[in-house]
Chains A and B, each alone.
Chain A
Amino acid sequence: AQSVTQLGSHVSVSEGALVLLRCNYSSSVPPYLFWYVQYPNQGLQLLLKYTSAATLVKGINGFEAEFKKSETSFHLTKPSAHMSDAAEYFCAVTQGYGGATNKLIFGTGTLLAVQP
């Protein structure tokens, strides 16, 4: 079964500093990987996704993530944090392969705080 581990339930950075949110996955087949962001009192919004094309994926709001098969990782980064980046971030992997159910397996989330 596929799974996702997010290291660090809370991450705090200063405004302008590098953002690094960690995600490791477990999958017996090539995975599709996603990062979602949840702002307070809102639903989840897709930041970016990896679908076996380029290993470096660029998303919205200046975020990007790199798929590293050897490390089974898909860490999310942003060079310079902005106050508006404060939110909860979820890494997710799809279950199954080819004709599967579209079910997303989510990590437990990382709450990002940005200090002025």
Chain B
Amino acid sequence: EAQVTQNPRYLITVTGKKLTVTCSQNMNHEYMSWYRQDPGLGLRQIYYSMNVEVTDKGDVPEGYKVSRKEKRNFPLILESPSPNQTSLYFCASSLGQVVANEQFFGPGTRLTVL
């Protein structure tokens, strides 16, 4: 089954404790992206990657890192999480760089930083 998976689905952590949220897709998509969803703000892009070893900042990159060493994986790293990073996070992928291509979303990771 074609899908985007994220782990963990739920995470409660404390300020400053490094964490990684994994994202994997099995559709051989070049483009991958991370969004955060906050009430009243919709979804905002954090980082994106057009292909292996090619990443760039989105609209809200502060406090986050990403890497793209393999085509299927795009982990999101919070080196020193803070309470304002409490949010619902979504990973997405799409085929190529054509803007009309559908983006497939993972199920989301709900992060709480205390």
Contacts and interface: CB of A to CB of B under 8 A. Distances in A.
B33 interface: yes
Interface string B42-61: 11110010100000101000
A100 B99 contact: yes
A102 B103 contact: yes
Among A9, A90, A102, A104, chain B packs the most CB atoms within 10 A around the CB of A102
Contact of A90 (B43, B48, B100, B106): B43
A25 to B, nearest CB: 13
B4 interface: yes
Nearest to B99: A94
Contacts of A32: 99-100
Given A101-B48, A102-B33, A103-B58, A96 B42 contact: no
Interface string A81-108: 0000000001000101111111110111
A16 B31 CA distance: 39
Q: Contact residue range for chain B?
A: 20 to 34
A104 B43 contact: yes
Interface in B87-108: 90, 92, 94, 97-103, 105-108
A43 B33 CA distance: 14
Contacts of A108: 40-42
Given A43-B4, A43-B90, A103 B102 contact: no
Contact of A104 (B97, B103, B107): B103
Interface string B72-97: 00000000000000000010101001
Nearest to A107: B42
B99 A96 contact: yes
B107 A43 contact: yes
Interface string B25-37: 0000001010100
A46 interface: yes
24 contacts: A32-B99, A36-B105, A42-B107, A43-B4, A43-B90, A43-B108, A44-B90, A45-B105, A49-B100, A90-B42, A90-B43, A102-B33, A102-B97, A102-B98, A102-B99, A102-B101, A103-B33, A103-B45, A104-B45, A104-B103, A106-B35, A106-B42, A107-B42, A108-B40
